[in-house]
Structure 1
Amino acid sequence: MQIWLDTIDFTTIHHARQLGVLAGVTTNPSILAAAERPVEEVLDALLDLQPGLLAVQVTSADPAVQLLQARRLAAKSGRIIVKVPAVGAGFQTMATLEREGIPTLATAIFESRQIVLAGQLGVRYAAPYINRIEQAGRDAALLLRESQQILDRYGQPTVIMGAAVKSAEQFMQCARAGIGAATLPADTYRLLFASSPELDAALQRFDSAWSANPLAAGSALFSAT
């Protein structure tokens, strides 16, 4: 499963890139609006910081304006994938862009029907909002499994990208469902590396046993210098 980062936290992006697990970076209007730099400058920095794709969302509900914005973004870099809300005329926008060879990401997904339609259109990625689906009282894990099964049944290459992933357990739901990608905010990404009381206790037992034996603790092979 690909790991994307849904953030403009450059330190976190650099960590994931150095670790070798970063497939790309996603943004949205809220993320870019919160930056204290011009949008164009932020996008350039994100493209320079990592070699993967960069997802950028259109900001208008008007299909003509969506196409205008999308074409500008595509002209800026061949590594930009255009995010379009999967509602109303957004489907027509994505269909047009995909025919033009501009890759799209269907966003703001709360129901499997949106993913099914995205698959029919050949959209590259479809991003269901995992945490928000659960907050609405629905089973996000079931939606992921059923949607992936439908895409597989009809041989549609659209990649489901779990979005709005707010916990390590939600990340694991994405992995267990067999979807192709998940995009994580910086805080959730850091949770993947977090310790636990059980793990801390196990490591402490190792340290205590090692320190208690002078022959082990004094080994030149394991010296810190």
Structure 2
Amino acid sequence: MKFFIDTANLNDIEQAYDMGILDGVTTNPSLMAKENIVGEENIIAHYKKICDIVEDKVSAEVLSTDLEGMIKEGEMLAAISPKIVVKIPMIKDGLKAIKHFAKKGIRTNCTLIFSAGQALLAAKAGATYVSPFVGRLDDISQDGMVLIEEIKTIFDQYPEHLNTEILAASVRHSMHLLNCAKLGADVATCPLKVFEALLNHPLTDKGLAQFIKDAESMTAVVEA
């Protein structure tokens, strides 16, 4: 499974990259606004900074919802760096935009996927990634993992025709992440805190404390 970090915060991206676990970045307008990134020039400059940190796969979302606007914005974003993946919403014009970008060799991430049917449409249109939002489904008392399983089952039936990867989004905690991995999602995107939560285990803490204590005893013996 590939790990993407879901943020526009440069410090968080650098931390995940330095841990050696980072395969890409996903952003959205809300995350950019959280970092006070407003205005086209500032947005472009910020994406350039993100691309300077990571090796590839930086999802940058269009703001328009009409075909002409999405194509214009998407081509502008793709021109920033070959690392950019254009993020397109799951709407009819979005599918048309995905088809356009696929023909031009521009990678896309179809976002706001909440059903297997939507994922199938996006894959047929040529999306590089589909992003099912597992956490938001949980919020309305639906099991997001069922959606991941349904999409995986469908995509696996047609490996020669559907090359789209499943990018599990709205991943809120470590169990979300691990369950997506068990079900075979290609990618999970989540905040830094979710990755850091995987580091923690009480037996690791206990063992490390014992190792430190024993090391201090050994040092004391040597010095004596």
Correspondent of 1:200 among 205, 211, 217: 205
Distance 2:157 2:221 in 1: 58
Q: Shift of the alpha carbon at 1:187? A: 2.6
Distance 2:33 2:17 in 1: 24
Give the partner amino acid of 2:131. Answer: A
* Secondary structure of residue in 2 paired with 1:160: strand
Distance 1:129 1:61 in 2: 19
* Secondary structure of residue in 1 paired with 2:79: helix
Distance 1:204 1:21 in 2: 25
Give the partner amino acid of 1:190. Answer: E
Work out whether residues 96 and 125 of structure 2, in 8 Å CA contact, stay in contact via their aligned partners in 1. Answer: no
- Count of matched residue pairs: 217
Q: Shift of the alpha carbon at 1:34? A: 2.3
Distance 1:179 1:145 in 2: 8
Correspondent of 1:151 among 152, 155, 167: 155
* Secondary structure of residue in 2 paired with 1:89: helix
1:84 corresponds to which residue?
88
Matched, 1:178 2:184: yes
1:27 corresponds to which residue?
27
Q: TM-score, normalised by structure 2?
A: 0.88
Going from structure 1 to structure 2, the CA distance change for 1:196 and 1:21 (only over 3 Å counts) comes to: closer
- Aligned-residue CA RMSD (Å): 2.1
Work out whether residues 47 and 80 of structure 2, in 8 Å CA contact, stay in contact via their aligned partners in 1. Answer: no
Distance 1:116 1:219 in 2: 66
Matched, 1:161 2:167: yes
1:73 corresponds to which residue?
77
Going from structure 1 to structure 2, the CA distance change for 1:218 and 1:114 (only over 3 Å counts) comes to: same
Going from structure 1 to structure 2, the CA distance change for 1:122 and 1:66 (only over 3 Å counts) comes to: same
Q: TM-score, normalised by structure 1?
A: 0.88
Q: Shift of the alpha carbon at 1:93? A: 1.1
Gaps of 5+ in 2: none
Give the partner amino acid of 1:84. Answer: I
* Secondary structure of residue in 2 paired with 1:5: strand
> How do 1:19-168 residues align onto structure 2 when only pairs under 5 Å count?
19-37=19-37, 38-155=42-159, 156-168=162-174
Give the partner amino acid of 2:62. Answer: V
Distance 2:203 2:18 in 1: 28
* Secondary structure of residue in 2 paired with 1:105: strand
Q: Shift of the alpha carbon at 1:202? A: 4.4
The alignment-based identity, stated in percent, is 29
Give the partner amino acid of 1:147. Answer: I
Work out whether residues 130 and 165 of structure 1, in 8 Å CA contact, stay in contact via their aligned partners in 2. Answer: yes
Going from structure 1 to structure 2, the CA distance change for 1:11 and 1:149 (only over 3 Å counts) comes to: same
Going from structure 1 to structure 2, the CA distance change for 1:64 and 1:167 (only over 3 Å counts) comes to: same
Distance 2:203 2:12 in 1: 26
Q: Shift of the alpha carbon at 1:67? A: 0.7
Give the partner amino acid of 1:23. Answer: D
Work out whether residues 23 and 52 of structure 1, in 8 Å CA contact, stay in contact via their aligned partners in 2. Answer: yes
Residue range with higher mean Cα deviation, 159-168 or 91-100:
91-100
